[in-house]
Amino acid sequence: MKVDLMIIKAKELVTVSGASRPRTGSEMDEINVIPDGAIAIVEDRIIDLGPTAEIVQKYPHPHKLINAENKVVMPGFVDPHTHPVFKETRENEFEMRLKGKSYVEISTSGGGIRSSIQGVRETSADRLFQLAVKRIKKMILNGTTTLEAKSGYGLSTESEIKMLKIIRRLNEELPIDIVATFLGAHEFPVEYKDDKNGYINLLINEMLPEIKKLNLAEYCDIFTEEHVFTIEQSRRILKRAKELGYKIRMHADEIQPIGGASLAGEIRAVSADHLGATSDKGITALKENGIIGTLLPATIFSLGLNTYARARDMITAGVPIALATDFNPGSSNCDSMQFINTLACLKMRMTPAEAITASTINAAYSLDRGDEVGSLEIGKKADIIVLDMPSYQYLSYHIGSSSVETVIKNGKIIKKNKPSENYPEGLPK
C-alpha cells in the first residue's frame, strides 16, 4: 500500500490508545507510549503504527517522510472550551484585579462580559472574523487541532447569529475542526438587566429555535453562577435547549457552589466546565451521570485565585477529566494547551500522563468526537503533533515557550516551526 505520509523514529510515540470511551480513574494515567515509534498515514487517516523497524519494513516507499528522532509524537490537542470571537482584549480589568477588585465586582459594575458586548454588536463580521483567525492561528502553532468555540458576546438574536456564522466560517476556512456552541445565556444584556424573565423568554422562544433552524450550533452552554443565571433559570433554558436537540455543556460552579454540577447531572449535559467550587454531591452527580468534567486552570491562575478544581478527588471518584484553555478576553487570555498541562500538574496535582489524556482523548469525548480524534489509533484521523522534547513529561515540565514543531491535521502538515533552527540572522548557532 502506498503511504502518503510516514513519521518515523519518534523517541516516544504517545498513542493514548485504549477503550473507546472517556478514560477514568487509573486509565487516565495510561497513555501507551511506543519507544522508537512510527506511524503511517493514507489521506486523512492513520493506517498503521508501531515500532519504526516494523513499520518501515511494511511500507518501504512513503510519499513523504518526517524523521522524529529525539522527539515526541502525540495526538493534536483538543481544546474543548474557548471564546475566541470578540473585538477587544480586556487587560485593563487584569490590572484592576491586581489592584484588588474581583472578577464579580468588575462584572457587576459594567465591565466583564457586558463590556465585550458592544464591540461584537458594533463591529463588522469580517473584522471579527479576521481577529479570531489571528488568535486561532496562534492556537494552531501551539498544537491545537480541534477546537470548541462559543458565541455569547452578542446577546441579541441578531448578534448571536452573527457570531455563530463567524464560527461557521472559521471552521470552513481554517484547517482545523471548530465545534460551535451557542452561549446566549452568558450574561443578561444591559437592556434586560431589570427584566431577566424577558431575556430568558427571548432565549427560549426566539434564539434557541432560530439558531437550531439555521443549524448554527451543536451545543448549548450557559453561565450558571450566582450573579448570572441561577439554577432555576438555567434549568428552564437547558430543558428547552435539550428538547430542541442541542447537546448541553455548562459553566458550572466556577465561583460559588450553587449546585451547577448537580444540574448538569439532572439535565445529562455532555460536559460540566470549571467546577472550582463543586461539592462532594456535585462530584457524585457527575460520576453517576457519566458527565465529563472539563477543568480550566488558566482561568483560576489568571484571576489570581487559588480555587483550583479538585481534580484528584474527581479522578478518584471516577469522573473523566478534560482540560481546556477557556481562551477569552476577560478571565483567561491563554492560547496554549501546553501551559494548561503545566498548570494541571502543578496546581491540581494531575500527573503528566493524566494531563495528556485530559487534553486529547477526554477532551475529544467532551466534544463528542472521541471516535474520530484524540488518540493515535488505526482508522482515526491523522491529527498529530511533533514536539521538540525528549519525553512526554517534558510537556508539563517545560514552561514559557512552545515545543510544538510540526502540526498535522487530517494527514496534512498545516504548520511547521523549527524552533531550534529559528535564530535571527547573525546569532551564533
Binding residues for ligand NIG, rule: CB under 6 A, are 83, 112-113, 116, 223, 251, 254, 299, 326, 328-332
- Whole-number minimum distance, CB 355 to ligand NIG, in Å? 20
Sequence-ordered alpha helix ranges (H) in 153-254: 157-173, 196-202, 208-213, 231-243
- Whole-number minimum distance, CB 254 to ligand NIG, in Å? 6
- How many chain residues interact with Fe ion (CB under 5 A)? 1
Nearest position to Fe ion, beta carbon: 326
- Whole-number minimum distance, CB 188 to ligand NIG, in Å? 13
- Whole-number minimum distance, CB 255 to Fe ion, in Å? 12
Q: DSSP string of 1-48? A: ---SEEEEEEEEEE-----SS---GGGGG---EEEEEEEEEETTEEEE
Distances in whole angstroms, Cα of residue 118 to Cα of each of 8, 148, 273, 359: 50, 23, 26, 33
Decide if 152 contacts 186 (C-beta within 8 A): yes
Decide if 89 contacts 329 (C-beta within 8 A): yes
Q: Would you say how long the chain is, in residues?
A: 429
- Give CA–CA dist 251/224, Å, rounded: 6
Q: Give yes or no for residue 254 binding Fe ion (CB under 5 A).
A: no
* 26: Cβ contacts below 8 Å, ≥ 6 apart: none
**Cell numbers placing 67:** 524523521
Nearer to ligand NIG by Cβ, of 216 and 296: the residue is: 296
From the list Fe ion, ligand NIG, none, pick the one residue 254 interacts with, judged by a Cβ distance below 5 to 8 Å according to partner type: ligand NIG
**Cell numbers placing 365:** 469525548
- Whole-number minimum distance, CB 330 to ligand NIG, in Å? 2
Residue located via cell numbers 472539563: 294
Nearer to Fe ion by Cβ, of 260 and 411: the residue is: 260
Nearer to ligand NIG by Cβ, of 12 and 253: the residue is: 253
From the list ligand NIG, Fe ion, none, pick the one residue 112 interacts with, judged by a Cβ distance below 5 to 8 Å according to partner type: ligand NIG
- Whole-number minimum distance, CB 181 to Fe ion, in Å? 10
Near Fe ion in 296-335, by CB under 5 A:
326
Nearer to Fe ion by Cβ, of 162 and 251: the residue is: 251
Nearer to ligand NIG by Cβ, of 203 and 353: the residue is: 203
- Whole-number minimum distance, CB 113 to ligand NIG, in Å? 5
Nearer to ligand NIG by Cβ, of 325 and 359: the residue is: 325
From the list ligand NIG, Fe ion, none, pick the one residue 223 interacts with, judged by a Cβ distance below 5 to 8 Å according to partner type: ligand NIG
Q: Give yes or no for residue 177 binding Fe ion (CB under 5 A).
A: no
Nearer to Fe ion by Cβ, of 326 and 354: the residue is: 326
- Give CA–CA dist 90/361, Å, rounded: 32
* 208: Cβ contacts below 8 Å, ≥ 6 apart: 182, 184, 220, 237, 240, 241, 244, 246
* 44: Cβ contacts below 8 Å, ≥ 6 apart: 381, 382, 410, 411, 412
Nearer to ligand NIG by Cβ, of 331 and 357: the residue is: 331
- Whole-number minimum distance, CB 1 to Fe ion, in Å? 44
Distances in whole angstroms, Cα of residue 421 to Cα of each of 71, 239, 428: 15, 54, 11
Q: Give yes or no for residue 221 binding Fe ion (CB under 5 A).
A: no
Applying CB under 5 A, the residues found at the interface with Fe ion are 326
